[in-house]
Structure 1
Amino acid sequence: MPRVTIRDVAARAGVSTATVSRALSGARPVSPEVADQVHRAVQDLGYSGNGIASALRRSRTDTVGMVVPSVANPFFTSLVENVEYALQQAGRQLFLCSSRSDPALEAQRLRSLVARQVDGIVISPVHGTESTEAVAWAAAELPLVQVDRYVSGVPSDWVGVDDEAGMVLVMDHLAARGARSAAFVSSRLTNSSTELRLAGFRRHTERLGIAVDDEHVLLGEYSIDWGREGTARLLRSRRLPDAIVCADDLIALGVVQACSEAGVEVPGDVLVTGFDDIPFSALSAPPLTTVRQPQELIATEAVRLLQRALEPSVVEPARISLSPSLVVRASTGPAPRQAHPGAPVSGTSGRRPR
């Protein structure tokens, strides 16, 4: 029996092959009447090009959309790779979109994914408030899971790292290294992750008796350039703190570079920590002590929650906060003897080298 082609479907439906493609992919809208003609032709002929016919019979396309703030940020690059692998194991394909940290573009991306009839959406929202309307709309249209960052007031699943626990690991480690004063260099408070990390920093510096000057909390953006600029501001202040805590690894890499260029020794003059454990963090000079996020587990849980949301049973949205680990490297001094250098640990001991 000869294989049914898209031309056969077009002839049966009385439309062009381009119209058939649009009706099946959802890339551009067609009228309900034309869509019905195409779908009936697909079913009558048993067309199964690219698996579309079987997906239509299940009212699914086996595709999932994902929107991240930036594909240039290594953290999100790795997260996307892990989500794509988890989806592949579940028999689904990924449509990836970058919002370029722009809430308006993010809303456009979400509308596009819904128009493409993806089965669900995984998103790390750009902004804690400006993203809310678009994310809420998309969640009302399709199953949606928020990862890493989240917006409040949207009835959707969320999975990410426990930012509070991450800051506990960092601050306890720095206190054990002898830090008695600290600075915090971060992006502006536009998303949940940044807000939680700053809140954790303030809470645990107070708990540990670590001094923080008002001028030593610097808010800019997640980038190496901002880490360099923030360091320049700290170096102009009346006294360099014992430690510089960074809200992500890109900022921390910029801090380490700027210190080196200014003749400030890391960790001899100042301790530096990051957050995320991107691949470059182990390659800096010195290698960076940082909080490792369990990205593979985050991705696996996100896909599991999405699969659950596609089932007919109604369940309450889940909030899954995963435990991080601390990777101790040379930017805060030598790793403890009982641990392999660069291995995740839950705590450290020892005095800061002077």
Structure 2
Amino acid sequence: MSTMDVTIYEVARRAGVSIATVSRTLRGTGPVAAKTREKVLKAVEELNFTPSRLGVSLAEGRHAANGVVFPDLAGPYYAEVLLGYEEVASELGRSVIILSTKGRTRVGDLIKDLAGRVDGMLIFGHTVPEPLVAELVRLGVRLVFVSRDPLPGADTLRSENTASARALAAHLADHGYERFAFLGAPLTSHDDVDERWRGVRSVLGGAIEAVDTGHYTVECGHEAATKLLKGRDRPRAIVCSDDEVALGALLAAEELGLDVPGDVAVTGWDDIMAARHARPALTTVRQPMRELGARAARALDELITGVRDTPSHHTLATAPVIRASCGHHPQEVRT
């Protein structure tokens, strides 16, 4: 086995200790019994385990800083998650270094550089290429992912999508609508939206058409909805991947002189503040955006301080919120 093939997991297995103990021994960041330290160093020597340049940077000690990697900081969703994260990080005495990858080149180098300057990182979805994720895990970087499927060696936090999407679709079907469109579908790099699409389609089947908006923005929602609503066979209900896309659809309907929900129903996802104050008020699915950020900060702190060394995977509950834009009285639908 070559030096490059050896991972911190194999060192821990050889020494018969946890990954956190290996990390504490190499970093010198916490108490390790003399016999345990000897076992770890012996395993390191036997396996010829040599941390890379990034690994050396990580071993230099605590930075009292967390890194946050987002694809784009524009929009209320990212802002809410970040607010929840920063509030807890501040309570824990940690600063936050933010990296937005939108429009950046050499993203891998930027992320490696950030990893060497912080004690751990929160990464949104699939912002980081999978080979780099594997390398960061191999090097023992503390990682928490928001909005992606569980993966080995890192914590994951996400909101529930499928059950709420099915409940929302069933509610719309109960209105008797027969032709639907889903705006924002489906981009394979975005697990959450894919799950929403699959959940809706599992209820509505061939009655719903997927329309890729390219981006999850008001502008892209407006453009896609305008084309749909100008068409001869316009949908009776537009199910949107998030509230920003839905606000764009509401604007398109207004500009075309169409009544919502009389001519076309519109739904969103997230329950951002603007959804509640839209005219008509937007039917959507409420997800705990700030709680996602707050729980991510606490999870990362647990990994950094060695409270636990096994990854955890949690899914937070969501709930459809029925408002006027789908043609019904306000209520919550139980999933």
Instruction: Identify the TM-score tier after normalising by the shorter chain.
Output: 0.7 to 0.9
Query: Residue 133 and residue 87 in structure 1: after superposition, are their counterparts in 2 closer, same or farther (change >3 A)?
Result: same
Equivalent residue runs for 1:90-169 within 5 Å: 90-100=92-102, 106-116=107-117, 118-127=118-127, 131-141=129-139, 142-149=141-148, 153-169=151-167
Give SS of 1:277's match. Answer: coil
- Distance across 1 between alignment mates of 2:268 and 2:220: 14
- Distance across 2 between alignment mates of 1:249 and 1:107: 31
Q: How many residues align?
A: 276
Q: How far did 1:219 drift?
A: 4.2
Give SS of 1:276's match. Answer: coil
In structure 2, what is the equivalent of residue 211 of structure 1? Answer: 207
In structure 2, what is the equivalent of residue 181 of structure 1? Answer: 179
Whether the 8 Å contact between 1:172 and 1:347 is mirrored in structure 2 is no
Give SS of 1:331's match. Answer: helix
In structure 2, what is the equivalent of residue 19 of structure 1? Answer: none
In structure 1, what is the equivalent of residue 284 of structure 2? Answer: 290
- Provide structure 1 residue ranges, at least 5 long, that are not aligned to the other structure: 1-55, 340-344, 349-354
Whether the 8 Å contact between 1:107 and 1:135 is mirrored in structure 2 is no
Query: Residue 177 and residue 106 in structure 1: after superposition, are their counterparts in 2 closer, same or farther (change >3 A)?
Result: farther
Equivalent residue runs for 1:325-336 within 5 Å: 325-336=319-330
Whether the 8 Å contact between 1:289 and 1:328 is mirrored in structure 2 is yes
Q: Which amino acid aligns with 2:261?
A: P
Give SS of 1:265's match. Answer: coil
Give SS of 2:324's match. Answer: coil
Query: Residue 323 and residue 274 in structure 1: after superposition, are their counterparts in 2 closer, same or farther (change >3 A)?
Result: same
Structure ranking higher on relative contact order (CA contacts 8 Å, 6+ apart)? 2
Equivalent residue runs for 1:49-88 within 5 Å: 59-88=61-90
**What's the % identity of the aligned pairs?**
32
Give CA deviations for 1:171-208 in whole Å, capped at 9, x if unaligned. 122123332221100053322122212211211223xx
Structure 1 stretches of 4+ with a deviation exceeding 6 A read none
Q: How far did 1:328 drift?
A: 2.2
Query: Residue 170 and residue 105 in structure 1: after superposition, are their counterparts in 2 closer, same or farther (change >3 A)?
Result: farther
Q: Which amino acid aligns with 2:252?
A: A
Whether the 8 Å contact between 2:86 and 2:294 is mirrored in structure 1 is no
Q: How far did 1:253 drift?
A: 0.8
Q: Which amino acid aligns with 2:78?
A: F
Equivalent residue runs for 1:240-259 within 5 Å: 240-259=234-253
Determine which structure has more spread, i.e. the larger CA radius of gyration. Answer: 1
Give SS of 1:310's match. Answer: helix
- Distance across 2 between alignment mates of 1:164 and 1:329: 20
- Distance across 2 between alignment mates of 1:82 and 1:313: 21
Give SS of 2:201's match. Answer: helix
Q: How far did 1:81 drift?
A: 0.7
